Amino acid sequence: MAQRRGRKTKKTNGYSHHNKVKIVRGGADYFHYIEEIAANAQYSLHLQTYIFDENETGNRVAEALMSAAKRNVFVYVLLDGYASKNLSASFIARLKDAGVHFEFFRPLVLSNVFYLGRRLHHKVIVADANVCMVAGINISDRYNDIGDTAAWLDWAIHAEGKVARTLNDICVNIWNRSALREKCKATSPPVTPLPEEECLVRIRRNDWVYQHTQITRSYRELFNASHQHVTLMTSYFWPPFKLLKRMAAASRRGVKIRLVLTARADVPFAKYSERYLYPWLFRHKIDVYEYNKNILHGKVATRDNEWLTAGSYNVNNISAFASVELNLDISNAALATELNEKIEAIINNDCAQITSESFVASSNIMKRLGYYLSYRITHIIFYLFTFYFTQRRDRN
């Protein structure tokens, strides 16, 4: 890369400058931003997500998408063929009649490449290649604040600038691989001025079939590069063994590691598998907290008040080796500190610390047997449903 005016160029490691970024907690604020992004779209709008339910929240988002399409915005909606399979034919027809381009990612029956365990798990919206959100949040009432019922705890990153341009290209590429009939035409929205902010952001992807393992590497770097503290909040914690080794090594170096998990899980079997790892965590001096207010569904991590990652990636083998995932890594002290402070407040107000003593006191021999069997059965199920004969080389 050429040097300009005698200044040394910096190694970016995939980070882009000129991004305006804010942290968004799930619930009403998140869905307000979705509606705002759709309302302001002028040329193109991509929404790709795992779950899209036909309920109050889903209908609100659908109305925003249809309104954009009626303004002649190119609207492309790609949903996972398994998790969103319960959408009615009339709901889908209403979207299409309004001008929304709609597809399922790898429908289980119609797919010409059958990978049962490979699901579209990321949650992304991007408009005009200029503004975007990357989240762990699905489109459904349980992720929203409905009446007196609080949303599941989750997070998103709202960004404007270069990162949105790259994310638009990724969405176009995934759509064109998945579309059975109509390829995406909205590939080049008009270029808009970039923000003046210099927030460093990089897109990280996991898709084992196409040899993307960037998010897995980011989590390894999280522990390898840490000096003071790491805070990790995740649902369905079942990490690859190599990541556990890096957690243990960081703890031995004196890094304070806090792990925030859910106390109540929407998949109880997964929680039992998770608790099998608690004794290992205690032995390696990792602090464990369980969120009690509602179900924790978020997936974020911070390091040393300098760096954070957020998106759809659960710290488990399914996200590492099966699902299509997308995160944003952000190298910015102010935002990392802000997220740390938000998590600190959640720990203080809505969590209970689980210690070795309290865990032993609350777990009789039958429970511990249940934890062990759940963990082993989870491994068996994982390998049965994600046995791929080959990896495909990404040609893009």
Number of other residues whose CB lies within 10 A of the CB of residue 157? 26
Q: What's the rounded mean pLDDT across residues 202-221? A: 93
pLDDT for residue 137 is more than 50: yes
pLDDT tier, 383 (very low <50, low <70, confident <90, very high otherwise): confident
Nearest CA to 49 out of 263, 296, 387, 311 is that of 311
Residue 1 vs residue 73, higher pLDDT: 73
Is-same-fold flag (19-198; 201-384)?
yes
pLDDT at residue 54 is higher than 70: yes
Domain 19-198 is of which CATH architecture?
2-Layer Sandwich (3.30)
Q: Where are the domains of the chain?
A: 19-198, 201-384
Which tens digit of pLDDT belongs to each residue from 73-118? 999 999 999 899 999 999 999 999 999 999 999 755 545 555 567 8
Q: What is the pLDDT of residues 319-335, one digit of tens each?
A: 988 899 999 999 999 99
Look over the chain and give the mean of its residue pLDDT values, rounded to a whole number.
90
Q: What is the pLDDT of residue 116?
A: 62
Average pLDDT over residues 222-232: 97
For position 270, what pLDDT does the model report? Answer: 86
Task: Answer whether residue 387 shows pLDDT above 80.
Answer: no
Distance, CA of 99 to CA of 290 (rounded, Å) = 44
Model pLDDT, residue 396: 47
Q: Which stretches of the chain are assigned E, i.e. beta strand? A: 19-25, 44-49, 74-80, 101-105, 123-127, 131-135, 155-161, 200-207, 212-213, 229-233, 256-262, 287-291, 300-303, 307-311, 325-331, 351-354
Residue that has been written with the tokens 């910015």 in this structure: 332
- Name the CATH superfamily housing domain 201-384: Endonuclease Chain A (3.30.870.10)
Poorest-confidence range of 19-23, 191-195, 226-230, 260-264? Answer: 191-195
